[in-house]
Structure 1
Amino acid sequence: MNKTFLSLLFLCLLYSPMLEAKKIKKLQIGDRFPKMEGELLSSKKITLPNHCEGKVTLLIAAFKRGTQDQIDSWTRPILFEFSQEEEFRFIEIPMISNFYSWISNYINNGMRNGIISSMHKNVMTYYGSLDEYFNYFGVEDRKLCYLFLLNKKGEICYMNKGESSSNEIKTLIHDIRILLEE
């Protein structure tokens, strides 16, 4: 009995550092955006942040359908300011549970029909586990959108969530301009 207990204790001690290493930390300024695979509504499969390298990129992830007004509060002024800038990229990411992957074509086609075709290259659907991204993004409220500004190396330079304010937009525009000059 003692041998069994000691063996079990040894295995627990051996594997506990491995379990701890899998803990996902909340993203911080300066971190590289985590790997995420998805498909643009233009039907191109991409991997983030690789798809963004060489461009200043604004990513906005949303876990609920009702966040579009929040997303638009960021994107309208930013796209007005930078849509003609070749070194700038914007991607909206609907984060959809893997549970719905069996109807992904139906969901994606519905989004394609509701979004003007020129914006299809700016919407990437993600189907998969959401838990690690809840941890990465520090999600406390799934009803908020989560915004990340990446430099040309895919590193996070600015983060925010929810609806924008005029001061936050001014800060974001300023930060994008600085990154575009680098």
Structure 2
Amino acid sequence: MKTIGLLFMGFLLSTSALAQVIGKTFPDMEAESVEDKKVKLPQDVKGKYTLLGLAYSKKSEDELNSWFQPVFEKFIQKNTGLLSGFGYDVNVYFVPMFTGVNAAATGTAKRKAMKNIDPQLLPYILFYRGELKTYKEALDFEKRDIPYFFVLDAEGKIIHATSGKYTTAKMDAVEGVLE
């Protein structure tokens, strides 16, 4: 019973930390696609809801990848036939963050992505290279080994935040704020 109480308390603390970012404007970030096209967040996505997934360690990148297929199927893949009018009009970006000494690995990571990731997903992957402190402070990145997800409204304000490996409950919550 004590273990369950500790787990629940840990869950409350982790969600309350992320809850503090709700209502804040997402901090400016310049990232680039595999083709080296610059994307300025949130500036370039204003006018439309946006789902961002960020990861800044190898382990968190693996968990970030667990979101690729479900997010692709839910928000990116175009529905056809009877469901063609029921899609979401939302920007989606997965952003591996390369900071410190790892920043030099950005080019290698891009080449690896072009080789190993489904070409349909590549336009939705951005690479950030730079410092981390601003984002850790502004976005309450508590743990380096998990990815963080933010839903931005059309003005670039954070309206939902979650973290960790993909679960149906997390996807349902993301979908709930987008509806």
User: TM-score, length-normalised on structure 1?
Assistant: 0.74
Distance (whole Å) between structure 1 residues aligned to residue 159 and residue 176 of structure 2: 12
- Structure 1 segment 77-88 matched on structure 2, within 5 A: 77-83=70-76, 84=78, 85=87, 87-88=89-90
Moved over 4 A (4+): none
Identity %: 24
Tell me the alpha carbon deviations over residues 123-158 of structure 1, each in whole angstroms, 9 at most, x when there is no partner.
Answer: 111110112212122122100001000111111110
Question: For structure 2, which runs of at least 5 residues remain unmatched after alignment?
Answer: 1-18, 79-86
Cα drift, residue 69 of structure 1: 4.5
Q: Which has the larger radius of gyration?
A: 1
Question: For structure 1, which runs of at least 5 residues remain unmatched after alignment?
Answer: 1-25, 178-182
Quickly say closer, same or farther: Cα 1:134–1:153, change in 2 above 3 A. Answer: same
Kindly report the root-mean-square deviation, in angstroms, between the aligned alpha carbons of the 2 structures: 2.1
Match of 2:42 among 38, 42, 49: 49
- Structure 1 segment 1-182 matched on structure 2, within 5 A: 28-83=21-76, 84=78, 85=87, 87-177=89-179
Comparing 65-74 and 164-173, the one that deviates more: 65-74
Number of positions where the alignment pairs a residue of Structure 1 with one of Structure 2: 152
Quickly say closer, same or farther: Cα 1:112–1:106, change in 2 above 3 A. Answer: same
Tell me the alpha carbon deviations over residues 86-141 of structure 1, each in whole angstroms, 9 at most, x when there is no partner.
Answer: 62111011110143444532332122212122222111111101122121221221
Does the CA-based 8 Å contact 2:61-2:96 persist in structure 1? no
Quickly say closer, same or farther: Cα 1:86–1:175, change in 2 above 3 A. Answer: closer
